[in-house]
Amino acid sequence: MRNQILAANWKMYLTQPQVDEWLSNFQSHDLPNTNSQLRIYPSALFIKDVLKIGLHVGAQNIASQTEGAFTGELSIGQLKSVGAKSVLLGHSERRQLCKESDDDIIQKIVACVNEDFPFIFCCGETLSCRKQNAQNDFILGQLTSNLNGLSSKDLHLLVVAYEPIWAIGTEESASIEQIGQMHNIIRSYLIDRFGSVANQVPILYGGSVNQSNAKDIFRCENVDGALVGGASLDPVIFYELWKALNT
């Protein structure tokens, strides 16, 4: 069976007191004994705080370089040294707001492979792309170009997150049918590209996941969990999503 993952992307939210409160609240809940994995992707300065309560903690970004005069950047080696276990790559906010190109993302994926560092690769189409019914070609294009350097032996590092840009932070989730169709397309691509071993790659959904829609989303074929933004900032809601994944 594939790993099921519920991942929290805290983005540039929460201050130290708020992180302390979040972690204290979340620890007060009984976590079910399951094979599913909880991941937290906080701002890098809170990695050690999350690590203290025993959760998988990752980074929201990495530099493709191993070291050097790159002010403001963080290397994989630095992040590993403080306990980071994985990283988000290709998130639409990095692509759009920080102008990360496909080539930038490819270089970061290469860095992850070279340093055996797991990553969640994010892909997703814009609303205009969806309205033109061009989303399938767009997502396949992202997968083909960005994952081109991977081989089947690298797939233990890979998790894919489908996040339609028009559903991120808008309270408008993709429909169950849309989610199911796209996840099946992604799974088929991975199998065609890498062979049957690609059946082990988790595919997550992201985009306005909440307590009302989580169970239906998690029931979709080839949906192996979620990458959650806004809803993850509330530990009570995030715990409810965790329970939904495990029921």
Catalytic residue status for 163: yes
Helix (H) or strand (E) holding 118: none
Q: CB-based burial of residue 171 (10 Å sphere; 0-12 exposed, 13-18 middle, 19+ buried)?
A: exposed
Q: What angle do CA 6, 12, 14 make, to 5 degrees?
A: 80
Q: What angle do CA 197, 200, 203 make, to 5 degrees?
A: 125
- Out of 93, 100, 125, 163, pick the active-site residue: 163
Query: Are 226 and 206 a contacting pair, CB within 8 Å?
Result: yes
Distance in angstroms (rounded) separating the CA atoms of residues 240 and 247 = 11
* φ, ψ of residue 39 in degrees (nearest 5): -130, 140
- Out of 91, 100, 125, 183, pick the active-site residue: 91
Distance in angstroms (rounded) separating the CA atoms of residues 74 and 63 = 6
Q: Which residues are catalytic?
A: 91, 163
